[in-house]
A and B are shown apart, each in its own frame.
Chain A
Amino acid sequence: QLQLQESGPGLVKPSETLSLTCTVSGGSINRNSYYWGWIRQPPGKGLEWLGNIYHSGTTYYKSSLESRVTISIDTSNNQFSLRLTSVTAADTAVYFCARVIARRGIRGVILASGWLDPWGQGTLVTVSS
């Protein structure tokens, strides 16, 4: 059974960089049918997609965060990572990683968008001095 687990610091100072890693177990991150994504949820609020990555390294980011977000992948260790620069209190949230079951477009081309399953348990990151 595929499982995802987020890890990283729970406290980050304002203006610094938030870095998280998602470790995938029970299956390979190299599978062609899947993207891998990051989603966050501020306390008491809804879900916000941050970005996706494919095993090839192709990435897609939420447009409003594109200047601050970087997602990378380490296929040898079955991990993918999130970096968010210049954080503020507004970046305080539970950060989730998830597998994206990518839908297919014309001629079976794998798209970067799909439904999310499974999710990691999430990790709370607080931005505070």
Chain B
Amino acid sequence: DVQMTQSPSTLSASVGDTVTITCRASQSVNSWLAWYQQKAGKAPQLLIYDASSLQSGVPSRFSGSGSGTEFTLTIRSLQPDDFATYYCQQYNSYSSYSFGQGTKLEIK
């Protein structure tokens, strides 16, 4: 199984900051990677798919990059609504997928 590792596990930042979350795969997943945002008590919401494609309706301050084994999610000009937990998910495996352990973005 492909293991996904996110870093950092927790990130403290202020409104207006730019932050980057990294997701590393134990083997190449090409560009088959998605990012989700999850707020407490809610279901995850899709932000990015195919590593860098922005889901419709998601603000352009969110961006994704990377391929192979290393990927990043960048959030520019943090807004109060952005403080949440973020997960990466690989879907390179033809019949299964796996998630990173999550990165909690906290207000500094």
Contacts and interface: CB of A to CB of B under 8 A. Distances in A.
Contacts, number: 68
A46 B87 CA distance: 8
Interface string B20-51: 00000000000010101000001111100110
Contacts of A116: 34, 36, 44, 46, 89
B93 interface: yes
B43 A96 contact: yes
Interface residues of A, number: 24
A60 B1 CA distance: 14
B81 to A, nearest CB: 18
B34 to A, nearest CB: 4
Given A46-B100, A47-B99, A49-B99, A105 B91 contact: no
A113 interface: yes
Interface of A: 46-49, 52, 60, 62-63, 96, 101, 103, 105, 111-122
